[in-house]
Amino acid sequence: MCGIMGYVGKNDATQVILNGLAKQEYRGYDSAGLALRFDDSIKNIKIVGRVSELKKLVEASDFGGAVPASGMGHTRWATHGGVNVTNAHPHESADGNIVLLHNGIIENAREIRVKLEAEGVVFASDTDTESACQLLAKLYHGGDALPAMTKLCDSLTGAFAFVILIRDRPGEIWCARKGSPLVVAHDGGASYCASDPTALLDYTHDLFFMEEGEIARLTEDGCGFFGFDGSPREKQSIFLQWDSVMADKGHYEHFMRKEIDEQPDVLRLTIEAHTDITSVDMEKTLKLPPGLMSRISRVQFVACGTSYYAALTACNLMESLDDTLNVRADVASEYRYRNIGRGDDTLAIFISQSGETADTLSAARIAKSKGVHRIAITNVRGSTLDREVDHSLLSLAGPEIGVAATKTFTAQVALLSILVLQLLKLRGALSTTDEARLIGGLRSIPTKQQAILARDLDIKALAEKYADSKGFFFIGRRENVPLTLEGALKLKEIAYLPSEAYAAGEMKHGPIAMLDEKLTVVAIVPQNDLREKMLSNVAECRARNAPIILLATDGDDGVKAIGNDVIFVPATEKELFPLLGVVPLQLFAYHVAKTLGRDIDMPRNLAKSVTVE
Ligand code: AGP
């Protein structure tokens, strides 16, 4: 959580920092602030609110014509201390020597604060961050700041990405990373740092992803890296292929809407990169140790939020094709409490759009400590998860800015489906019939998604009709249970409406008591072997006066009399239905949220990348 941007160079730092903050605002948007360095002073400007308001305040400020050549900024997602200007970052030490901003949580902040207060240091805010700032002021005695930085990092427990200005060190920015992401770059005349690579793409695509336990010193001439023990480190940059235009809203009102529309292209790219006309082809993209898949007896899919629903979808597919494997999906934050097994008969697959989700990273580290073989699926090359696992696959969705995941979900599901087929093929557990059937089905998904997107106006009309529902129940069976979870999550996240997801057979075991004419049921009823059972569950809901929206297969006109409204989608292989069914659910949530006037790209209380546990 929290977005960070730092700059040191020859140009006006103000615009670079504001631009970088605007690009990372989805990481947190309770408050915003920046510190600009002038020849003999550092100006600290903070507000409660959005980057656009910070921009107005900065542009109205009179710096006496002086131009800052370095500085740093921050958008906050509050953890310790309420949302107010004092708690906004950057923080300044009582002696005015250190200005510091932070993403993460300092776990021993209270201890440090009590000790420093006993020594007479006066704290201004309620944040954990200020303890690090005041402590660094105590540790720094002038001259080279590296010894003080190493002592600071050694003294702290918890997670941090710091960016620091030191009053008597002009032309320098100091950074440190433990647990929270930080990416650094140099483009000739300037150095930059940010939480997300997207913030740097206007300047360079050659990026240095800071590792755990690393300190960096940025100047206009370059970037120097050190371990927490002060030893210098050589680092290789990673070239990120993303285009800065990809992180631009273009003519769309919201990133989420743009990202929904990008799905056919994203899926085409993802599917073509790993398949042939009728078979999986991951020879080049996934190199596993020989014989690994014959040894494996357990497969675990692990992720959070929407990525977890992608994990559930993959888990269902794998289990349906191979009954000799023990397959399960886990929420990353719970994985640690399970006896996950030990040794090389277990394969764990971690899924994370950002590759920085703290819970997923912890789960992956636990799996490593148990000798479990690890594969990751992430959307961000160079992210922590991408770098830490044994094998990493990229979902090729391009930057996703809307807080609600859309295109990255379908990219994950497509890539996971291909991965499942590849792993089973290596195990000798995939029939050529199933392989050809599912690959053929996958390759037709992008065109079918396009057909659904063309029905947007109908879905919008439905969303407007149902936006005053007091809540929604999503029901489905088997491979469509994860789809109900994702449909409900989208409505919760961006429309703030109570929305629940149930395996349809469970409704009558309790939740059906809630139904009445203001609680809308969205039932997933594709034309498959479970259609009749689903229709019986729908009839039970209808009998309780709940309005019903059905998600059904093109041509299945028989369902029209059963629901109040029907959204039709093209036919596909039953296992692949979530890749189609999710698109109208995304559009529905989007239009409901828009009708209700919600802040769609930056919904309240959320942040795109959850880097605290
Ligand atoms: C999805 O709309 C949410 N933004 C959230 O549930 C997200 O999927 C979750 O936080 C996991 O993020 P990750 O994929 O970056 O790990």
3-state secondary structure of 591: helix
Query: Is 226 in contact with 146 (CB distance < 8 Å)?
Result: yes
Q: Is 608 a residue of the active site?
A: yes
Say if residue 584's pLDDT is above 90: yes
Least confident residue range of 60-64, 86-90, 559-563? 60-64
Determine the Cα–Cα distance for residues 218 and 193; give it in Å rounded to an integer.
Answer: 9
Residues with Cβ within 8 Å of 250's Cβ and at least 6 positions away in sequence, in order, are: 258
Q: Which residue has the tokens 């999550």?
A: 489
- Predicted confidence at residue 604, as pLDDT, reads 83
Nearest residue (CA) to ligand 1, atom 9: 305
Question: Which token pair is 478?
Answer: 């088997």
Determine the Cα–Cα distance for residues 307 and 575; give it in Å rounded to an integer.
Answer: 18
Determine the Cα–Cα distance for residues 261 and 254; give it in Å rounded to an integer.
Answer: 11
pLDDT tens string 392-411: 999 999 999 898 999 999 99
Determine the Cα–Cα distance for residues 525 and 530; give it in Å rounded to an integer.
Answer: 8
- Predicted confidence at residue 165, as pLDDT, reads 97
Question: 198: Cβ below 6 Å to ligand 1?
Answer: no
Question: 586: Cβ below 6 Å to ligand 1?
Answer: no
CA 336 to centroid of ligand 1, rounded, Å: 19
Type of residue at 597: G
Q: Is 407 a residue of the active site?
A: no
Q: Fill in the DSSP letter of residue 336.
A: T
φ/ψ (deg, to 5) at 524? -95, 110
Residues with Cβ within 8 Å of 89's Cβ and at least 6 positions away in sequence, in order, are: 2, 33, 46, 74, 76, 100, 101, 102, 127, 129
Question: With helix as H, strand as E and coil as C, how does 343-378 read?
Answer: CCCEEEEEEECCCCCHHHHHHHHHHHHCCCEEEEEE
Question: 404: Cβ below 6 Å to ligand 1?
Answer: yes
Question: 352: Cβ below 6 Å to ligand 1?
Answer: yes
| Mean pLDDT over the full length of the chain | 93
- Predicted confidence at residue 601, as pLDDT, reads 87
Determine the Cα–Cα distance for residues 368 and 79; give it in Å rounded to an integer.
Answer: 29
Question: Which token pair is 516?
Answer: 């009445």
H-state helical runs in 125-170 = 129-139, 146-155
The band of 345, judged by pLDDT with boundaries at 50, 70 and 90, is very high
Say if residue 243's pLDDT is above 80: no
The band of 146, judged by pLDDT with boundaries at 50, 70 and 90, is very high
pLDDT tens string 303-328: 999 999 999 999 999 999 999 999 99
Helix and strand numbers (H, E) in the chain are 18, 25
Determine the Cα–Cα distance for residues 521 and 477; give it in Å rounded to an integer.
Answer: 14
Determine the Cα–Cα distance for residues 54 and 71; give it in Å rounded to an integer.
Answer: 15
Nearest residue (CA) to ligand 1, atom 6: 305
Type of residue at 471: G
pLDDT tens string 417-475: 999 999 999 999 999 999 999 999 999 999 999 999 999 999 999 999 999 999 999 99
In angstroms, the Cα distances linking 80 to 30, 105, 193, 478 are 12, 8, 24, 41
CA 317 to centroid of ligand 1, rounded, Å: 21
Residues with Cβ within 8 Å of 120's Cβ and at least 6 positions away in sequence, in order, are: none
Query: Is 379 in contact with 354 (CB distance < 8 Å)?
Result: yes
Query: Using N-to-C axis directions, what is the helix angle for 432-453 and 407-426, rounded to 10°?
Result: 170
Say if residue 2's pLDDT is above 90: no
3-state secondary structure of 435: helix
**DSSP line for 368-418:** HHTT-EEEEEESSTT-HHHHHSSEEEE-------SSS--HHHHHHHHHHHH
Among residues of the chain, what percentage have pLDDT more than 70?
Answer: 99
Ligand 1 atom closest to 304 (CA):
11
Query: Is 83 in contact with 123 (CB distance < 8 Å)?
Result: no
Ligand 1 atom closest to 412 (CA):
14
State how far Cα 55 lies from the chain centre.
26
φ/ψ (deg, to 5) at 4? -125, 140
Q: What are the beta bridge partners of residue 298? A: 326, 346
The band of 145, judged by pLDDT with boundaries at 50, 70 and 90, is very high
pLDDT tens string 89-127: 999 999 999 999 999 999 999 999 999 999 999 999 999
Q: Of the listed 2, 193, 315, 541, which one is catalytic?
A: 2
Q: Of the listed 23, 407, 425, 608, which one is catalytic?
A: 608
Say if residue 534's pLDDT is above 90: yes
Q: Which of 312, 330, 353 to mutate to test the pocket of ligand 1 (most atoms within 8 A of CB)?
A: 353
CA 609 to centroid of ligand 1, rounded, Å: 7
Nearest residue (CA) to ligand 1, atom 2: 404
Query: Is 249 in contact with 258 (CB distance < 8 Å)?
Result: yes
CA 392 to centroid of ligand 1, rounded, Å: 18
Question: 304: Cβ below 6 Å to ligand 1?
Answer: yes
φ/ψ (deg, to 5) at 45? -125, 125
CA 258 to centroid of ligand 1, rounded, Å: 18
CA 357 to centroid of ligand 1, rounded, Å: 8
In angstroms, the Cα distances linking 578 to 2, 43, 280, 412, 583 are 32, 51, 20, 12, 9
Q: 522-532 b/e with 16+ CB inside 10 Å = b?
A: bbbbbbbebbe
Q: Which residue has the tokens 């059963």?
A: 562
Q: Which residue has the tokens 């082809």?
A: 281
3-state secondary structure of 110: helix
Determine the Cα–Cα distance for residues 13 and 314; give it in Å rounded to an integer.
Answer: 46
Question: 305: Cβ below 6 Å to ligand 1?
Answer: yes
Say if residue 245's pLDDT is above 70: no
Say if residue 132's pLDDT is above 90: yes
Question: 405: Cβ below 6 Å to ligand 1?
Answer: yes
Nearest residue (CA) to ligand 1, atom 16: 352
- Predicted confidence at residue 435, as pLDDT, reads 97
Minimal CA–CA distance to 402: which of 243, 267, 598, 270? 598
The sign of the dihedral angle between the CA atoms of 461, 464, 470, 473 is: positive
CA 537 to centroid of ligand 1, rounded, Å: 30
